[in-house]
Amino acid sequence: MKILGSVITEQDITFVIVQVKYSIINSELMRDNIMKMLRKKFVKDPIILMSKDIKGRPTFWGREDIVKYLSKVQVNEYKWKEYNI
């Protein structure tokens, strides 16, 4: 499975943002499943799921302090890379 993600270090914290479909963020079962797969690839870093709505506005799910930070920045400026999981 291929995913689009970005490994970011901000304020001495390294974390991963992974782009997913909005339906994944809204489903506890789907979130759990994708997080298990992602945890095999990104073992130690916090993982944040991100989806965009129809208007292109991002929605985040994950560690609360990182989600709060991301809601205030332009995630489009991060470098995105395709990963195999």
pTM of the model: 0.91
Identity of residue 3: I
**Confidence (pLDDT) at 74:** 87
**Confidence (pLDDT) at 19:** 96
Distance, C-alpha 25 to centroid of its chain:
10
> What would the pLDDT profile of 21-63 be if each residue is shown by its tens digit?
999 999 999 999 999 999 999 999 999 999 988 888 899 999 9
Whether 5 shows a pLDDT value over 90: the answer reads: yes
Give the count of domains, the chain: 1
**Confidence (pLDDT) at 53:** 84
Q: Residue 59's domain spans which residues?
A: 2-84
